[in-house]
Amino acid sequence: MDGNHEQELEDLELFQKYVADRFSDLLSSSSDEAADSLLSVSWLRKLVDVFLCCEAEFKAVLIMGRDPSQVSKPPLDRLVPEFLDRVVKALDVCNAVSHSVESVRHYQKLAEIAVSAFEQRSIGDGQVRRAKKALNSLMLTLEEKEGSNHKSAERAWSFGRRGATNKDRAAPGQFRSLSWNMAKGWSAAKQIQAMSANLVAPRGAKSSGLASPVYIMSTVMLFVMWALVAAIPCQERNGLSTHFPVPRQLGWAQSMVALQEKIAEEWKKKKEKTRLAGLLEETQRLERLGQSLIEFADSFHFPAEAERLEEMASQVAELADTCKKMEEGLVPLQQQIREV
């Protein structure tokens, strides 16, 4: 028994260190100067990868080399079913996020239309009108998505639409959303709140046993789902809190708490300035550049001043670069979420 307990302590210490190191890497890569700034598509891909890696380590700690009867004994007889309930709720969140990535890809397509129009060699009234129409559609879509309440009564299914024809299926090299809208009344905010219910850090002797990795992995899962919902415009986010309780004194949680605070700060800024759909960095750029280019289009007169054209060209180049990053990252992110 003493040997088993020592092994448990060693496993727990290694798991805590692993989680701490992975989230520390995430925190260091979230600075403004980093290549993968906070809540960008590339950063979210790192976040989902961290989740998958932590989950693999968690399963090794909880299952490998252990007597299965331990799961039927206190405290795991209660904690494991609670954990599995969170897993099911996380599956729903992943379905909603995966579906909502399609909306973000739609934003990208509208922005690309504007880029194509503005990049014409000789820009005139026709090209400006075409770009403005696409950008106005983008702004309207962003506002509608933020305030939308999907009324589809269909349920999201994870593994494809039944009865899909060959025409419906994705072509090689492409990826199509296989999710429908979530059920009427489904709420991403309520799902996150339900996942955090009964999530309490183990105390006393339980803190050095198998209850601890279950709590750690539950917290990791909750944070990842919360961050995805904050970034991607999911159904019914009203009431999604900017924080959920993570004990600061726990060493493995410190980087996670710091990330949570940074995301909460972004949330606060967003509420003060805009009704933007989600905190995804690329979407925020689309909104900022789109509004500026609409102002350019409203005041456009042919022939335009060279200085105005130069300013417009710089913004169009940034918009094109943002679209390229979305093109490169959104489909792989969607595939990773499906893997989760």
Q: Is the peptide bond preceding residue 68 cis, with omega within 30 degrees of 0?
A: no
Q: Is the peptide bond preceding residue 233 cis, with omega within 30 degrees of 0?
A: no
What is d(CA 75, CA 78) in angstroms, rounded to the nearest whole number?
A: 6
What value, to the nearest 5°, has the Cα angle with vertex 195 and ends 192 and 198?
Answer: 135
Tally Cβ neighbours within 10 Å of residue 251: 11
Evaluated on CA atoms 276, 265, 273, 130, the torsion sign reads negative
pLDDT score, position 274:
52
Structure tokens at 262: 């940074």
Q: What is the pLDDT along the chain (340 residues), one digit of tens a residue?
A: 455 778 888 999 999 999 999 999 999 998 756 568 999 999 999 999 999 999 999 999 998 878 888 888 999 999 999 999 999 999 999 999 999 999 999 999 999 999 999 998 888 999 999 999 999 999 999 886 655 443 332 333 233 333 344 444 344 334 343 334 678 788 999 999 999 988 999 988 888 889 999 999 999 999 999 999 999 988 888 777 777 778 888 999 999 999 999 999 988 887 765 555 689 999 999 999 999 999 999 999 888 788 999 999 999 999 999 999 999 999 999 999 999 9
What does the domain layout of the chain look like in residue ranges?
A: 2-28+36-150+177-339
Tally Cβ neighbours within 10 Å of residue 161: 15
State the amino acid at position 36 in one-letter form: D
pTM summary value? 0.86
pLDDT score, position 151:
35
262 contacts 255 by C-beta, under 8 angstroms: no
What value, to the nearest 5°, has the Cα angle with vertex 151 and ends 145 and 153?
Answer: 135
